[in-house]
Amino acid sequence: MSSFKQIVELIADDLTAVEAKLTEQTASEYSFVDMAVQHVVEGGGKRLRPILVVLSAKVCGYEGSDAHTLAAVVELIHVASLVHDDVLDEAAIRRGRETLQTKWGNKVAVLVGDYLHARVLSMLVARRADDPAMAILADTTQAMCEGEVIHAYKSGDFDISEAEYLKIISFKTGKLITASCTLGAHLGTTDKQTLEALTTYGQQIGTAFQIVDDVLDFTEDTDKLGKNAFGDLREGKLTFPIIYARSVCNDDEKQTLEKVLNSNTDEAEAIAFVESLFQHYGVEVHCLKVAQNYADRAKVALTVLPEIPARVALEQLADYVVARES
Amino acid sequence: MSSFKQIVELIADDLTAVEAKLTEQTASEYSFVDMAVQHVVEGGGKRLRPILVVLSAKVCGYEGSDAHTLAAVVELIHVASLVHDDVLDEAAIRRGRETLQTKWGNKVAVLVGDYLHARVLSMLVARRADDPAMAILADTTQAMCEGEVIHAYKSGDFDISEAEYLKIISFKTGKLITASCTLGAHLGTTDKQTLEALTTYGQQIGTAFQIVDDVLDFTEDTDKLGKNAFGDLREGKLTFPIIYARSVCNDDEKQTLEKVLNSNTDEAEAIAFVESLFQHYGVEVHCLKVAQNYADRAKVALTVLPEIPARVALEQLADYVVARES
Cα gap A88→A231, rounded to integer Å: 12
Residue of A158, A153, A147 whose CA lies nearest to A238: A158
Q: Do A32 and B142 touch (CB under 8 A)?
A: no
Q: Would you state the pLDDT for residue A158?
A: 80
Cα gap B131→B190, rounded to integer Å: 12
Query: What is the value of ipTM here, to two decimals?
Result: 0.80
Q: Would you state the pLDDT for residue A162?
A: 93
> Is a pLDDT exceeding 80 seen at residue B94?
no
Q: Would you state the pLDDT for residue A223?
A: 64
Set of chain A residues whose Cβ sits within 8 Å of the Cβ of B129: 129-130
What's the number of CA atoms in the CB half-sphere (13 Å) around residue A326?
16
Residue B97 backbone phi and psi in degrees, to 5 = -120, 160
| Cβ atoms B30, A144 nearer than 8 A | no
| Cβ atoms A89, A102 nearer than 8 A | no
Q: Would you state the pLDDT for residue A11?
A: 97
3-state helix, strand, coil in chain A (%, to 5): 75, 0, 20
Q: Which of A111, A137, A150 sits opposite B149 (nearest CB)?
A: A111
Q: Would you state the pLDDT for residue A285?
A: 96
- pLDDT higher at B301 or A263: B301
- pLDDT higher at A110 or B62: B62
Set of chain A residues whose Cβ sits within 8 Å of the Cβ of B87: 87, 106, 110
Q: Would you state the pLDDT for residue B163?
A: 93
Cα gap A276→A13, rounded to integer Å: 46
Q: Which amino acid is it at A90? A: E
> Is a pLDDT exceeding 90 seen at residue B202?
yes
Residues in B lying within 8 Å of A, measured between beta carbons: 28-30, 32-33, 36, 81, 84, 87-88, 104-108, 110-115, 117-119, 121-122, 124-125, 129-130, 134-135, 137-139, 141-142, 144-146, 148-150, 152-153
pLDDT tier for residue B223 given thresholds of 50, 70 and 90? low
Sign, CA torsion B86/B90/B91/B97 = positive
Q: Would you state the pLDDT for residue A228?
A: 64
- Specify burial of residue A204 (Cβ count, 10 A radius: 0-12, 13-18, 19+): buried
Q: How many CB atoms lie within 10 A of CB A178?
A: 25
Q: Supply the mean pLDDT for chain B.
A: 89
Q: Do B33 and A150 touch (CB under 8 A)?
A: yes
Q: What pairs with residue B98 in β-bridges?
A: B93
From residue B295, alpha-carbon distances to B50, B54, B82, B290, B325 in Å are 19, 19, 24, 9, 16
The angle, 0 to 180 degrees and rounded to 10, between the axes of the packed helices B192-219 and B175-188 is 150
> Is a pLDDT exceeding 90 seen at residue B199?
yes
Residue of A74, A90, A83 whose CA lies nearest to A108: A83
Set of chain A residues whose Cβ sits within 8 Å of the Cβ of B146: 28-30, 33, 115
Strand locations in A56-213 (E): 93-94, 97-98
Measure A303 CA to nearest chain B CA, in Å.
33
Using CA coordinates, name the residue in chain B closest to A122: B138
> Is a pLDDT exceeding 70 seen at residue B256?
yes
**Highest mean pLDDT out of B26-30, B59-63, B223-227, B322-326:** B59-63
Q: Pairing state of beta strands B93-94 and A97-98?
A: unpaired
Residue B180 CB contacts under 8 Å (≥ 6 apart), including other chains: B48, B49, B50, B52, B53, B56, B71, B74, B202
- Specify burial of residue A8 (Cβ count, 10 A radius: 0-12, 13-18, 19+): middle
Q: In the 8-state DSSP scheme, what is residue B170?
A: I
Q: Pairing state of beta strands A97-98 and A93-94?
A: antiparallel
Measure A225 CA to nearest chain B CA, in Å.
23
Using CA coordinates, name the residue in chain A closest to B116: A142
Q: Which amino acid is it at A179? A: A
pLDDT tier for residue B225 given thresholds of 50, 70 and 90? low
User: Mean of the pLDDT values across residues B52-80?
Assistant: 95
- Residue B238 backbone zone (phi > 0: left; psi -120 to 50: alpha; other: beta): beta
| Cβ atoms B319, B295 nearer than 8 A | yes
pLDDT tens, residue by residue, A148-181: 888 877 777 788 899 999 999 999 999 999 999 9
Q: Which amino acid is it at B269? A: E
Domains and CATH numbers, chain B: 3-323 (1.10.600.10)
Q: Would you state the pLDDT for residue B222?
A: 63
Q: Would you state the pLDDT for residue A15?
A: 96
Set of chain B residues whose Cβ sits within 8 Å of the Cβ of A114: 81, 84, 113, 117, 141, 144-145, 148
Q: How many CB atoms lie within 10 A of CB B266?
A: 11
Say whether A323 sits in a helix, a strand or coil: helix
Q: How many CB atoms lie within 10 A of CB B102?
A: 15
| Cβ atoms A137, A72 nearer than 8 A | no
- pLDDT higher at B216 or A229: B216
Cα gap A243→A228, rounded to integer Å: 21
| Cβ atoms B159, B198 nearer than 8 A | no
Set of chain A residues whose Cβ sits within 8 Å of the Cβ of B118: 138, 141-142, 144-145
> Is a pLDDT exceeding 70 seen at residue B72?
yes
Residue of B60, B153, B77 whose CA lies nearest to B114: B77
Cα gap B73→B141, rounded to integer Å: 12
Q: Within chain A, what is the greatest distance between any pair of CA atoms?
A: 60
Cα gap A54→A161, rounded to integer Å: 35
User: Mean of the pLDDT values across residues B109-116?
Assistant: 87
pLDDT in tens, chain A (326 residues): 688 999 999 999 999 999 999 999 998 888 888 888 888 898 778 999 999 999 999 999 999 999 999 999 999 999 998 888 887 777 777 777 788 878 887 778 888 888 898 898 888 887 766 788 988 998 999 899 888 888 877 777 788 899 999 999 999 999 999 999 999 999 999 999 999 999 999 999 999 999 999 999 888 776 666 666 677 877 778 899 999 999 999 999 999 998 888 877 788 888 899 999 999 999 999 999 999 999 999 999 999 999 999 999 999 999 999 999 88
What is the four-CA torsion angle of B49, B50, B53, B56, rounded to 10 degrees?
-90
Least confident of B6-10, B87-91, B108-112, B252-256: B87-91
Q: Is the pTM of this model over 0.80?
A: yes
Measure A80 CA to nearest chain B CA, in Å.
10
Q: Would you state the pLDDT for residue B1?
A: 62
Using CA coordinates, name the residue in chain B closest to A115: B145
From residue A243, alpha-carbon distances to A158, A211, A230, A285 in Å are 8, 11, 15, 14
Cα gap A319→B222, rounded to integer Å: 58
pLDDT tens, residue by residue, B6-57: 999 999 999 999 999 999 999 888 888 888 888 889 877 899 999 999 999 9
| Cβ atoms B300, B184 nearer than 8 A | no
DSSP alpha helix (H) spans, chain B = 3-10, 12-25, 31-41, 48-59, 66-89, 100-104, 106-125, 133-154, 162-169, 175-188, 192-219, 222-225, 231-234, 240-248, 251-261, 267-281, 283-301, 309-323
> Is a pLDDT exceeding 70 seen at residue B71?
yes
Q: Would you state the pLDDT for residue B219?
A: 86
DSSP string, B275-311: HHHHHHHTHHHHHHHHHHHHHHHHHHHGGGS--SHHH
Q: Do A111 and B141 touch (CB under 8 A)?
A: no
Q: Would you state the pLDDT for residue A224?
A: 65
Set of chain A residues whose Cβ sits within 8 Å of the Cβ of B36: 149
Measure A226 CA to nearest chain B CA, in Å.
22
